[in-house]
Structure 1
Amino acid sequence: MRARALVVAATCLAAVLVAAVPAFATRGTQAAPLSSLTTPSRPEPAVLAVTVPDAPSVAPAAAIEMRHIWQSLNNCGPAAVVMALSTFGITADQETARLALRGPDVRRGMGPQGVDPWVNELYGLRSMWRNNGTVDLLKRLVANGFAPLVTQWMQDPSVSRIAHWRTIRGYDDGQQTFFVNDPMLGNFVPLSYQWIQDNWQPFSYRYMVVYRPEDEALLKAIVGPEWSESRNREAFYERAKAEALGQHTSAAWLTYGEASYQSGRFEEALAAFDRGFSLGSALGVFTVRSSYPQTLRALGKLNDADRAQANLSSLTAVPSSTVASPPDTFALWMAFRRTLAFDAAQPSE
């Protein structure tokens, strides 16, 4: 597995590898060499960036101590969670995590929804996830000791179209580079800011953070207004729409369709999805397998929805029965609220 991973890494990272490796400085000290990064021996994450609880900081460069593991078959999600847990001094087993977070079907991927109850029950931790992540947000999280997980293409989609979880552990503004622990590609892998941005878009810029309950106030301060799910969905919609109109790519329009669906704009979602399909392949974009048929159902096009569900069954190697999702009730609520023209004073959640 390790040899195969290195071959894959050499293929997909050729365009993004950075020649020099940065040193990471704490505020008021000289830069610390990367050789000083070791597996933490205490329960708290050993963070080489200053944490400022009442004013979340963004240093020019930062890195977090983190264990690396190689994933088992189709187990990138649980492996990425296990690596994030290591920042708390927790040594978890990825196969135990697999059964809890993916179930026994090895073809099934991991969604973020099951992580919070699992880490809470076993370790007293919490997990949150949102769409609409940004490069700046990832940097701010790392600078303050959090290790965000992201859903992206494993490699450039011109090489393969496989959705993948990886864990962000560092960044360097000077090199415009993130450093990730990737369960398939390796430890402390450099990926450029632009590469992260481009290969994140098809998966709604989804990110997840595992954290201590006592750090929730700091995390909320970093995430800002988009801690509110309704505000997050609205912001994601505005961004995705602007990107689709400006980029004219299949990925941008499919993401616009996803954002429109999530915000309860079903007519707009249908038009955006259809435009995205016409511009290129949706192969590997697993979210479309649920959101497109559910958009049709929300518009009363039940026969079209059933046909779409069947036609999209080949988008990924995972059988449709294992990824089918119910209607997004939050999206339906947002559509209902918009129809009744609720004002901003109404509850947002």
Structure 2
Amino acid sequence: MSNLSYRKVLPFAAGLILIVILLSQYPPINQRLIWYREVTLAYVRGVIYPAGPVPTPLPQPTVAQAGTPAVAPSKTPIPTSAQLPPEATPTSMPSPTPLPGSVMLASPAWEKQDINNCGPAALAMYLRYFGWEGDQFDISNLVKPVREDRNVNVEELIYYVRTQAGWLNAEYRVGGDIQLLKRILAAGIPVMIEESFYFEDPFWPNDDLWAAHYQLLTGYDDAQQTFTAQDSFHGANHKVPFSTLDDYWKIFNRVYILVFLPGQVETVKSILGPDWDVDTNRRHALETAQAEAEADPEDAFAWFNVGSNQVYFENYNEAALAYDQARNLSLPQRMLRYQFGPFLAYFHAGRNQDLLALTEYALQRTPNAEEALLWHGWALYRDGDSTAAVEEFRAALEANPNYLDAQYALDFMGASP
């Protein structure tokens, strides 16, 4: 090609490249490009690290490991021992008023979730019910400032409401049931839950398709045996059968989030009864999980819930044994992207090799999971590799710059971010 031809082509090529760059900054196109990149990277990881089952428990030595460094891996000091608090004596509750056969609350303006943003999207719709005027990005910019972060915890959503919408009250409890959800809705209060979700298409070879999802419930119909959900993925006024919801909800210890006006505090207390007290609520959830595990010893999620509730009471050895049972029965591949009780249990039970195995598995599935990075760092520290531990703590803080436990870990190590 002649020099003249080059001079003609080069400006055209440069202009074309500039147009592509500018178009890639347009939010809808940029979001799609990020999604394609994430899908590609997930598939490549699945090829390099085949998605096998969650590792089963390792054989335990009969003699405890000596020389384990003492550390409380949290910004909050952790007691050295704890027992279940004494059973609270519930106050007598009036006979419940019969519930209506159906309830349909006003539906807030529906919002389609951004990538990995069902929690902020569901919460945005929840707050909008009470007149809030923001959107999911107002929430995600605080609780998950890195867009590729794949998980938002219940505690992070509660934190947002309490710090950014302080004119509303926010609480969460576990161990709910279908009747409780109906009572809350009948009182005129929507309720948000975390539950299972199944992808239509695999992200890697042998993908089990399981993930987590938040949705906002705004009604129910006994005749149809369905809830009405404002679902940021499936759409507004999405119908969910009672039985399906309970099956999907159980995997997350039947956690539920309540946002309500200050004038509704007594109403919420009346609905929850003894479960208004957080310790009592956890004890009830533990009893439910234990009963379900006893009724069906092959139920991995019942055992997992036993472990999670034992972690709350800082009974880490008991929690670790319950998680052992769940792991032996098999758990979803992405489970440790969303639930981190096993990391705490094995750390505090002194089972460092199990902690290493689980965090390494979790990071193969989700390399930027700040919780797995943090606990992998503590496992490395326990293993005597302080340098590698600091790098993991830094990676956790990079994955979520607002992650206080990662900053605490770096402070503990005397290291800079």
Fold shared per TM-score above 0.5: yes
Query: Is residue 2:204 matched to residue 1:154?
Result: no
- The one of 97, 119, 127 equivalent to 1:77 is 119
The counterpart of 2:355, out of the listed 305, 310, 329, is 305
The number of residues matched between the two structures is 275
Give the distance between the partners of 1:145 and 1:318, measured in 2 at CA: 41
Map of 1:342 onto structure 2: none
CA distance in 2, matches of 1:172, 1:255: 29
SS in 2 for 1:286: helix
| In 2: Cα distance, 1:324 partner to 1:222 partner | 39
Residue 94 of structure 2 corresponds to residue 91 of structure 1: no
The alignment partner of 2:239 has SS state of strand
Partner of 1:144: 187
Are the equivalent residues in 1 in contact too, given 2:198–2:211 (CA < 8 A)?
yes
2:126–2:190 contact (8 Å) kept in structure 1? yes
* Mapping 1:44-63, distance limit 5 Å: 58-63=99-104
Does 2:144 match 1:102?
yes
Give the Cα–Cα distance (whole angstroms) in 2 for the partners of residues 206 and 170 of structure 1.
Answer: 18
Please tell me the residue identity of whatever aligns with 1:85.
Answer: L
Normalized per residue, the structure richer in helix is: 2
Q: 2:178 aligns with which of 135, 150, 164?
A: 135
User: How far off is 1:114 after superposition?
Assistant: 3.1
Question: Does the 8 A contact of 1:57 with 1:140 survive in 2?
Answer: no
Show structure 2 runs of 5+ residues with no match. 1-27, 29-94, 201-206, 376-417
Work out the CA distance in 1 between the residues paired with 2:138 and 2:273: 34
Alpha-carbon separation, structure 2, partners of 1:318 and 1:58? 46
Comparing 259-268 with 168-177, greater Cα deviation is found at 259-268
Equivalent-residue separation in structure 1 for 2:262 and 2:137 (angstroms): 26
Q: Rg: which structure is higher? A: 2
After superposition, what is the alpha-carbon deviation per residue over 1:242-301, rounded to whole angstroms, capped at 9, x for unaligned? 111212222222222222222333333222211111112332223775211211222223
Residue by residue over 1:100-152, the C-alpha shift from the partner in whole angstroms, topping out at 9 and shown as x without a partner, is 23222432421222334433444411211111111111111111111111000
Structure with the larger RCO, 1 or 2 (CA within 8 Å, 6+ apart): 2
CA distance in 1: counterparts of 2:116 and 2:172, whole angstroms: 21
In the alignment, the residues of structure 1 paired with residue 299 and residue 152 of structure 2 have an alpha-carbon distance, to the nearest angstrom, of: 27
Alignment correspondent of 1:329 = none
Q: CA deviation at 1:196?
A: 0.7
Aligned-pair identity in percent equals 24
Distance in 2 between residues matched to 1:287 and 1:253, nearest whole Å = 18
CA distance in 1, matches of 2:339, 2:137: 27
Structure 1: runs of 5+ lacking an equivalent: 2-53, 327-349
**SS of equivalent residue, structure 2 residue 209:** coil
1:142 alignment partner, SS class: helix
1:128-207 alignment runs, 5 A limit: 128-155=171-198, 160-207=209-256
Partner of 1:114: helix, strand, or coil? helix
Residue aligning to 1:223: 272
TM-score by length of 1: 0.71
